Amino acid sequence: MVPDAEPATTGATGRLAGKTALVTAAGAGIGRAIAAAFAREGATVRATDIDLAAVESLAASVAGMPGTLTPGRLDVTDTAAIAQLAEELGAIDVLVNCAGFVDDGSILACDEAAWERSNTLNVTSMYRTIRAFLPAMLAQGHGSIINMASVAGAITGVPNRFVYSATKAAIVGLTRSVARDFVDRQIRCNAVCPGTVHTPSWEDRVRASPDPEQAKRDFIARQPMGRLG
């Protein structure tokens, strides 16, 4: 696959026409693909990222699709910025939490700063966005929250992914709790647990390894389908 390629409108069904969605970390990788797919299906999308230029390029690439996509800068570690965005957008139909960070190493390589960094970005950011946007979803009587977890930690153990795995397992617990608390009020909360996906961040990790070609082979060997997503 070509990382960050935007889908064409061929085959679009318009199933998200009239829906509003917020996607975090939409500048690259999975978040970018989700935001583009939502626009393709007719949604009104606010695509956010800490890198404004990245979501601006996304907006340009999806121009002409059935939906609309508005780029915006959002630091998901900034509680005040999240609250301000929630006030601006009001009730939305879909919240997609994609922001995250992969920190390598075992527990012995994870000092407290690394622990705090990964937990803040991978887990606390979702706590903050859900807390900010859930009340308006409840008021309108429906909503869907999608949290990006991972096979690592949530499904199985992966070598040298200690803090990443711990945070992704925490996301599953967070998701289950929110889902159970609000299912009777028409709120759906689900976690997606992908394997390794060919994204710019994956390419960065491969290039940073001592033997990039071996690193690629190792990643692929861990995938049940024998290929990257």
What's the pLDDT score for residue 11? 64
Q: Which domain holds residue 218?
A: 199-229
DSSP secondary structure string for all residues of 16-64 = TTT-EEEESSTTSHHHHHHHHHHHHTT-EEEEEES-HHHHHHHHHHTTT
- CB contact set of 38 (below 8 Å; sequence gap of 6+): 16, 19, 21, 23, 45, 67, 69, 94
Residue 113 sits in the same domain as residue 212: no
- Examine the domain organization and report whether 172 and 203 are in the same domain: no
Residues 160 and 208 in one domain: no
Please indicate, yes or no, if residue 100 is contained in any of the structural domains: yes
pLDDT confidence band for 211 (50 / 70 / 90): confident
138-189 residue pLDDT tens: 999 999 999 999 988 888 888 889 999 999 999 999 999 999 999 999 999 9
In terms of domains, do 186 and 214 share one? no
Q: Which of 164, 182, 202, 219 is catalytic?
A: 164
Q: With DSSP H G I counted as helix, E B as strand and the rest as coil, what are the percentages for the chain, rounded to 5?
A: 50, 15, 35
Are 154 and 41 part of one and the same domain?
Answer: yes
- The count of domains in the chain is 2
Q: Mark whether 164 is an active-site residue.
A: yes
